[in-house]
Structure 1
Amino acid sequence: MYNSFYGLSDRPFQLTPDPRFYFDSATHRKAMAYLGYGLAQGEGFIVITGEIGAGKTTLTGQLMASVDAGRLTATRVTSTQVESDDMLRLIAQGFGIVTDSADKALILQRIESFLIDQSRMGRRSLLVVDEAQNLPVSALEELRLLSNLQARDHALLQIFLLGQPEFRERLQGLEQLRQRVIATHHLEPMHAEEVEPYIVHRLTLVGWAGNPRFTPEAFPAIYDFSGGIPRQINALLSRILLLGAIGKLSVIDTAVVSRAIADLTQDVPEPVAGPQAGAGEAVVGPVAAARIAALEARIAAQEQALKRVLALLVDWVEAAERRGEGA
């Protein structure tokens, strides 16, 4: 809906990862350097971790889009807590290898033959495993064994493991796998000063010509809510632009940002008058005001609970003293 209203050619803040919208933030730039280094080595594991929505999938998509497709055969597997046999089957299917009802040994043999053929044609083979934190030890061990496959003294398969932060902790207890990791990087949230360039970058790619205009104060409010996580920013901006289109707004300020946040979180902060409000229309206040109000309410509730506990304690002490006097 907001695409047509603002004259955009596509949805700039869709939640589905899209390498077209890759933004070279400081942490993504560093991660890309590690991935490039890993590809140059042609062996072992590269581990990239980050919070949900930090941009791990978009990052690897950008990397693979930048590599010569004639020299790299790559596939991606999203793990769903599969055991070793199912992991092999998923990998084979990802590379286009027929598995039918083949047993584990035959599937492994077919994978190795495929990788050898790719190597003979001068092509590198890359496996990207997403959501690696969900993999059981048996599947991780299978991946380690696959990484050991060699031909003419060079590895046949390189593996990128993408996972949430807890995967780094799991690696510490998997010594043999950890020894095969040649580089690792944790994707941090974007810095506050990167939020505006990120938003402008994605809007520009779909033909944004300055409508709507964002006030300078809107970007810190967006950062405060999202914490610099790209997916959180995308979700919030989609709602902001939708509200903007519905209200036919040409300016996005903190009041609009707060309305979108309240809409997303089903929060109902006290409404205040906004500069873009029409007659009889209320615009919610900044997100900071809503959070402060919620915090004050929690503090008040805690104080009431504490007073009740103290009153009960006083009653208990007084009763104990009366019993002592009557003894």
Structure 2
Amino acid sequence: MYDRHYGFTDRPFQLTPDARFWFESKTHRTAMAYLGYGLAQGEGFIVITGDVGAGKTTLVGHLMASIDPQRLHVLRLVSTQVEDEDMLRLTAQQLGLATEGLAKAQLLDRIERTLRLHAAEGRQTLLIVDEAQNLPLSALEELRMLSNFQNGGQALLQIFLLGQPEFRDRFQHSEHLEQLRQRVIATHHLTPMEEEEIAPYIGHRLSLVGWTGNPDFTEDSFAAFYKHSGGVPRRLNMLAGRVLLHGSVEGLDRIDAHTVDLVAADMGEERASAPAPDPAEARRRAIEAAPPTEAAPVRIVTAQDPELLDRIASLEERLDEQEAAIRRVLTLLIDWVEREEPIGAGISSGAGARYSTTR
């Protein structure tokens, strides 16, 4: 809507990552420098981390757009908590190999032979694994083993890991990842943009869609954009898009700090007024809808917010523990009644059992 109102050729602040809108902030410039250095080495691991919305996917898109496919063959995986053999199968599939019915040893053999063919053609192979924070230890260890493939002292595969801050913490401190840490040749953590980068960022994206100065942005509007977004690109895109929508509805040809504050306040109220999901209700509905099965209870995913999902999972585990404790107490009570023992004689032990279970 706002793109037509202001005469833009496209939406400048869409949330879907698009390499066309690459903006070289200080932190992204540093990340690209480390990537360039790492790729020049042709071996080991490159690790880039950053908060949600920091621009990791856009960074990869810019890298893909700038490489020479005749010299660098790129494989891309988005990890889904796969274990070691599944990681091998996904890698083989990215190489165009059939994997059905193959044992692990056969998979490794075919992967290595294919990587040797690429090397013989003069092409380096880079494996990009996104959402690395979801990878279990077994998958990370398998990736480390894949990085061991060599041809005449030259590595056949280089690996680029992208993840959220928890992966950086795990990577830096886990004693189980010491061997992988020794293989890392470049690492960088993407930080939010600085306040003085907000105006160039907004101007850059607008210029790519035919902006001719309408609407105009006052100097104080950029400070407001920074205040409400924290310099995180995705948050800034979301806010800027809503500001332009508001401007088109109100017929504004000038965006100032008051306008940005007003829209940010509305967005905050929307988030605050959104009903919080009821984990117990979601679980009840899922159980009713699920077909009879002897398998473990299904964990329901009701949102895409990782923090919310973790909270729901934690609540479900506590419910399971409480249900188990109640069943044990009821079993004790039934035993006492059948033995015709006084109920009061066993109450304290029953409570102790429940406390020790739920603590």
TM-score tier, shorter chain, comes to 0.7 to 0.9
1:105 Cα deviation from its structure 2 partner: 2.3
- The alignment status of 1:217 with 2:220, answered yes or no, reads yes
Read off the aligned partner of 2:136 and give its amino acid letter: P
Residue deviations 1:209-254 (CA, integer Å, cap 9, x gap): 1111111111111101111111110111111111111222111112
Structure 2 Cα separation of the partners of residues 130 and 74 of structure 1: 13
**Paired residue secondary structure (1:17):** coil
Structure 2 Cα separation of the partners of residues 9 and 92 of structure 1: 40
Residue 290 of structure 1: aligned partner: none
Read off the aligned partner of 2:28 and give its amino acid letter: H
Residue deviations 1:137-176 (CA, integer Å, cap 9, x gap): 0000011001111112100010111111121221132100
1:156-235 matches, within 5 Å, as: 156-172=156-172, 173=174, 174-235=177-238
Structure 2 Cα separation of the partners of residues 99 and 37 of structure 1: 34
Residue 152 of structure 1: aligned partner: 152
- The alignment status of 1:142 with 2:145, answered yes or no, reads no
Structure 2 Cα separation of the partners of residues 241 and 197 of structure 1: 17
**Paired residue secondary structure (2:102):** coil
Structure 1 Cα separation of the partners of residues 109 and 262 of structure 2: 58
- The alignment status of 1:259 with 2:262, answered yes or no, reads yes
Read off the aligned partner of 1:183 and give its amino acid letter: A
Residue 8 of structure 1: aligned partner: 8
Residue 92 of structure 2: aligned partner: 92
Gaps of 5+ in 2: 273-359
- Matched residues, percent identical? 63
| Paired residues of 1:147 and 1:157 also in contact (CA < 8 A) | yes
Residue deviations 1:268-309 (CA, integer Å, cap 9, x gap): 99xxxxxxxxxxxxxxxxxxxxxxxxxxxxxxxxxxxxxxxx
Residue 322 of structure 1: aligned partner: none
Count of residue correspondences: 269
**Paired residue secondary structure (1:217):** helix
Structure 1 Cα separation of the partners of residues 24 and 70 of structure 2: 25
Alpha carbons of structure 1 residues 21 and 120: separation in structure 2 relative to 1, 3 Å? same
Residue 34 of structure 2: aligned partner: 34
1:95 Cα deviation from its structure 2 partner: 2.6
Gaps of 5+ in 1: 270-327
1:256 Cα deviation from its structure 2 partner: 1.8
Structure 1 Cα separation of the partners of residues 157 and 267 of structure 2: 43
Structure 1 Cα separation of the partners of residues 46 and 208 of structure 2: 30
TM normalised by structure 2 equals 0.72
Residue 55 of structure 2: aligned partner: 55
1:267 Cα deviation from its structure 2 partner: 5.5
Structure 1 Cα separation of the partners of residues 241 and 111 of structure 2: 42
**Paired residue secondary structure (2:162):** strand
| Paired residues of 1:212 and 1:249 also in contact (CA < 8 A) | yes
| Paired residues of 1:74 and 1:95 also in contact (CA < 8 A) | no
TM normalised by structure 1 equals 0.79
1:7 Cα deviation from its structure 2 partner: 1.1
Structure 2 Cα separation of the partners of residues 175 and 265 of structure 1: 43
Structure 1 Cα separation of the partners of residues 271 and 151 of structure 2: 63
Structure 1 Cα separation of the partners of residues 241 and 102 of structure 2: 46
Read off the aligned partner of 1:185 and give its amino acid letter: H
Structure 1 Cα separation of the partners of residues 153 and 231 of structure 2: 44
**Paired residue secondary structure (1:238):** helix
| Paired residues of 1:262 and 1:268 also in contact (CA < 8 A) | no
**Paired residue secondary structure (1:11):** coil
Structure 2 Cα separation of the partners of residues 139 and 156 of structure 1: 19
Read off the aligned partner of 1:34 and give its amino acid letter: Y
1:70 Cα deviation from its structure 2 partner: 1.2
Read off the aligned partner of 2:67 and give its amino acid letter: V
**Paired residue secondary structure (1:249):** coil
Structure 2 Cα separation of the partners of residues 90 and 218 of structure 1: 46
Read off the aligned partner of 2:24 and give its amino acid letter: D
Return the match for 2:244 from 230, 241, 246: 241
Which segment drifts farther, 85-94 or 99-108? 99-108
Instruction: Calculate the aligned-residue CA RMSD, in Å.
Output: 1.5
